[in-house]
């Protein structure tokens, strides 16, 4: 390759099932340059991408929003839903009226959803709860809180237990109040990496989009893996992946823009992120110049 890498490209992979369709058919070991895969919770990937410990990752859309100056978005990749998401869930031990001015335990694995919850509780419902960070374990969280927010597979597993709590699906609440899509995760690359290793980033991008397309054609292999590793039923996983969208088009962007606007209004974010995408034409020019 023209820009012979002087070090491995470090990729961050969300370990939750929601991101699997974009990663499942992409095997970094087959790339013609060394890569290092960091499989982690979203909050860890958010931090590692910000500090430069990794180069490219699926991260919380909120984390992208507060550091967008340093990143390019990989076009048309996201974890989004229009309505129910099934894995971003608020479990209510107390009635909602009490929760609104009570205590809510927040999973430490999230960034988008904790801020989405604040928008829902404060802007939509007019509440002012106290928030406390907690490890993602439902019963422990609810020992000292009126409600608990879980995301990803922690939320999915908790939703299968016979807990008896009322459950709010934040994707559904967002959609009812705004009529919009909600985007939870985006794929971002550090600008300095994109400019230094354009061909490598392009190949990774192509691998991810090819995996997304294969999963969109047939979710079977991804659903089978989830069934084997997490449990549940084939119907559950087909329904779960069916309610997620991994594209990032005009409709998803409009929803995320509104989320960023509300986050700014509540003082959860400073500016309006510009959603600058990886300059693919630049990468293509770069390539064709050398052929």
**Least distance from C-beta 23 to ligand ISJ, angstroms?**
12
Which 11-40 positions form the footprint of ligand ISJ (CB under 6 A)?
14, 16, 18-19
Output the smallest distance, CB 263 to ligand ISJ, in A: 12
The answer to whether 159 contacts ligand ISJ (rule: CB under 6 A) is no
Residues 6+ apart with CB under 8 A from 195: none
Closest CB to ligand ISJ among residues 107, 193: 107
Position 152 contacts ligand ISJ (CB under 6 A): yes
Pick the binder of ligand ISJ from 35, 60, 175, 180 (CB under 6 A).
60
Residue number with CB closer to ligand ISJ (67 or 286): 67
**174 contacts: CB under 8 Å, gap ≥ 6:** 116, 119, 120, 180, 182, 255, 259
Tokens coding 106: 């927040």
Query: Who's near 244: CB < 8 A, 6+ residues apart?
Result: 18, 21, 79, 80, 81, 85
In the set 100, 151, 201, 223, which binds ligand ISJ (CB under 6 A)?
A: 151
CB of 113 to ligand ISJ, least distance (A): 3
Query: Collapsing DSSP states into helix, strand and coil, what is residue 148?
Result: strand
From the number of C-beta atoms within 10 Å of its C-beta (0-12, 13-18, 19+), residue 97 rates as: exposed
CB of 114 to ligand ISJ, least distance (A): 7
CB-hemisphere CA count at 13 Å for 33? 19
- Which one among 184, 237, 240, 262 touches ligand ISJ, defined by CB under 6 A? 184
Q: Tokens for 136, please give them.
A: 């993602």
44 touches ligand ISJ (CB under 6 A): no
Classify the C-alpha dihedral 44-50-55-61 as positive or negative.
Answer: positive
Binding site for ligand ISJ (CB under 6 A): 14, 16, 18-19, 42, 60, 79, 85, 87-88, 110-113, 151-152, 184-185
């Amino acid at each position: 390759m023209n820009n012979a890498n002087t070090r491995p490209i470090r990729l961050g992979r969300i370990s939750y099932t929601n991101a699997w369709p974009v990663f499942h058919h992409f095997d970094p070991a087959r790339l013609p340059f060394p890569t290092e895969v960091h499989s982690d919770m979203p909050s860890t990937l958010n931090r590692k991408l910000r500090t430069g410990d990794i180069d490219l990752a699926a991260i919380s859309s909120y984390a992208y929003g507060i550091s967008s100056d340093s990143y390019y978005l990989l076009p048309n990749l996201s974890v989004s839903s229009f309505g129910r998401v099934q894995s971003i869930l608020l479990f209510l031990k107390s009635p909602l009226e009490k929760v609104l001015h009570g205590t809510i335990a927040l999973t430490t694995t999230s960034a988008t959803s904790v801020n989405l919850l604040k928008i829902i509780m404060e802007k939509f419902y007019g509440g002012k709860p106290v928030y406390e960070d907690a490890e993602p374990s439902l019963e422990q969280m609810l020992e000292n809180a009126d409600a608990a927010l879980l995301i990803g597979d922690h939320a999915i597993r908790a939703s299968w237990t016979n807990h008896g709590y009322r459950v709010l699906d934040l994707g559904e609440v967002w959609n009812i109040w705004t009529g919009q899509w909600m985007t939870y995760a985006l794929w971002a690359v550090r600008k300095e990496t994109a400019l230094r290793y354009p061909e490598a980033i392009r190949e990774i991008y192509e691998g991810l989009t090819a995996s997304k397309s294969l999963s969109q054609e047939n979710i079977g292999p991804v659903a089978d893996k989830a069934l084997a590793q997490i449990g549940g039923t084939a119907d559950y996983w087909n329904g779960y992946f069916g309610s997620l969208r991994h594209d990032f088009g005009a409709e998803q962007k409009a929803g995320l823009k509104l989320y960023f606007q509300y986050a700014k209004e509540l003082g959860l974010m400073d500016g309006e992120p510009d959603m600058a995408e990886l300059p693919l034409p630049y990468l293509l020019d770069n390539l064709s110049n050398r052929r």
